[in-house]
Amino acid sequence: MTTTTRDEEQERFYSEQVEEIVSKIKLEDYIAEDLGDGGKRFENCVKFHCPFHVDEHESFSVRTDEQYWHCFSCGRGGNIINYIMLKDGLSYANAVHKAAVVAGVELADDIIFSHTYDINEKLNRMSKVRRTKKREYHDISEYDKYSTEPPKLWMDEGISAQSLRKYGVRVDHEQNRIGYPMVDMDDKFITFKWRYLNPNSRAKYKPDYPIGELDFFQGWRQAEKGIEESQTVVLFESIKSVMKMDTWGYNNTVSCEGHNVTQPQVEILIKCHVRNVVLAFDSDVVAYNTAQKDYVQLLKRFTNVWIINDRNELLGGASAKNAPVDCGKEIWEILYSEKVKLR
C-alpha cells in the first residue's frame, strides 16, 4: 500500500490553490486592463505590444485556450503569476498573494513554502543575475563595407540565397571569411561571428567582439512566428543548420551557438511554454549526456523534450561530426520521425 507523506499532501494542496487562482482570472482581460490596451483578438489568442521592452510588432501573445502569455521577441512568458512578478517587480510569493486577491481566493498561510514557489523563485533569481551582467552592443552599420552577395560556398552546401539574405550573411573577401550578425532576445546587435575559410586559421569560428553569456538563441526573431504556430522549437548547434532548414521550408528552428543548451537558454524555453523542444545536435555530441544535465531535466517538467538520436548512423557516426541536416532533407526527415522523447 502506497502512503502519502505530509509534505506531499501539502504540495498537492498548494498546487491546487495556485491552479484555482490562475483558473479564476481571465488572463487576456487582466493584461488588457493593466496595459490600457484591448489588444488584437484572434480565435485562440490576443496580441499586445510587450510591456517589457520596445516592441513594434505586437510580439506579446496570450493563449486564451491555455491562459498563458509569451513574448516571441524577448522570450519571457508564463501565467498570471509570472506576469505580475515581472510587471510589478514582486517575488513569487507576493505575486501569488496579489493574484489571490484579484481572483477572490483565500490562501493558506504557509502557501509560500510550496515546491512551485521554490522553482519560480529560482528562475527569478537566475533572471536577476543575468540582468546584472553587462554586455557591450555595437553599431551594425560598421559592417556595411562587407559584401551582401550570397557566398557560393554556402549555396553549394544547400543554403538558398534567400535564406542567406534573411539571416544577414556577409562576405569579407579580404580576410576570406563568411559572417552573420548575432543579436540578443531584444534584437540588439552584439557582434558579427565569422567562419574563417583559410585552413591555416587558428579559429574556425570567431566573433569580432565578446559575445558574453549565451542567454539568447540565434535566429529567434526569424523563427518566432513559426514557433508560436507549431508550438515546437528545434535547437541546432549552428546557424548554418538553421539556414538550411529555412531553405527547406521549416520556420521553427534556432541555434544554440554551441555544443549544448545553456542554463539561461533553458530558462527562456521554460518561460515560453512551448509544447515541444527538440534537441538536434551534431553526430559527435552524445545526446543522452546532454539530456542528463540538471537544467535539461528541469526543462522536462515544463514541456516535452525530444532528442535526435542517430542510432543507425545515417549521418556517418560520431567521427563524421555531421549536423542532422548535413546529409540531406530525406535523412533529416527520417531522423526527426525517429526522435526520442526524454522520460
Looking at every residue in the chain, the average pLDDT score rounds to: 84
pLDDT, tens digit, for every residue of 142-191? 999 999 999 999 999 999 999 999 999 999 999 999 999 999 999 999 99
> What tens digit of pLDDT does each residue of 43-54 get?
888 999 999 888
Q: What are 312-342's pLDDT values in tens digits?
A: 999 998 888 899 999 999 999 999 999 998 8
Say what the pLDDT of residue 113 is.
Answer: 43
Three-state secondary structure readout of 244-255: HHHHCCCCCEEE
3-state secondary structure of 261: coil
CA neighbours within 13 Å on the CB side: how many for 144? 4
- What is the pLDDT, as a whole number, of residue 119? 54
Can you give the pTM of this predicted structure? 0.66
State residue 178 phi and psi, 5-degree precision: -120, 135
Cα–Cα dist 224/211, whole Å: 22
User: Residue 260, Cβ neighbours under 10 Å: how many?
Assistant: 18
pLDDT of 121 > 50? The answer is yes
Query: Is residue 214's pLDDT more than 80?
Result: yes
Strand, coil or helix: 77: strand
What sign has the CA pseudo-torsion 243, 244, 249, 252?
negative
- 244 Cβ partners below 8 Å, 6+ apart? 157, 158, 159, 163, 325
- Across the range 232-244, mean pLDDT stands at 96
The grid coordinates listed for 117 are 514557489
296 membership: H or E segment, kind and range: helix 294-299
pLDDT bin (cut points 50, 70, 90) of residue 7 is: very low
Looking at residue 77, its pLDDT comes to 87
**Nearest-angstrom CA–CA distance, 127 and 310:** 35
Cα torsion angle, 45, 48, 54, 56, sign: positive
Residue 257: the pLDDT is 93
Report, as an integer, the average pLDDT of 294-298. Answer: 74
Q: How confident is the model at residue 1 (pLDDT cuts 50, 70, 90)?
A: very low
Res 194: pLDDT: 95
pLDDT at 24 over 60: yes
Inform me whether the pLDDT recorded for 287 exceeds 70. Answer: no
Output the pLDDT for position 290.
61
The predicted pLDDT at position 189 comes to 96
Q: Give residue for cell 515546491.
A: 115
Give which of 178, 122, 192, 120 is closest to 148, Cα–Cα: 178
Mean pLDDT value of segment 127-152 = 81
Mean pLDDT of 261-275: 86
Q: For the chain, what percent of residues have pLDDT higher than 90? A: 45
Cα–Cα distance for residue pair 228/64, rounded to 1 Å: 13
Stronger pLDDT, 300 or 154, i.e. the higher one: 154
Q: What is the DSSP letter of 151?
A: P
Q: How far apart are CA 176 and CA 195, in angstroms?
A: 9
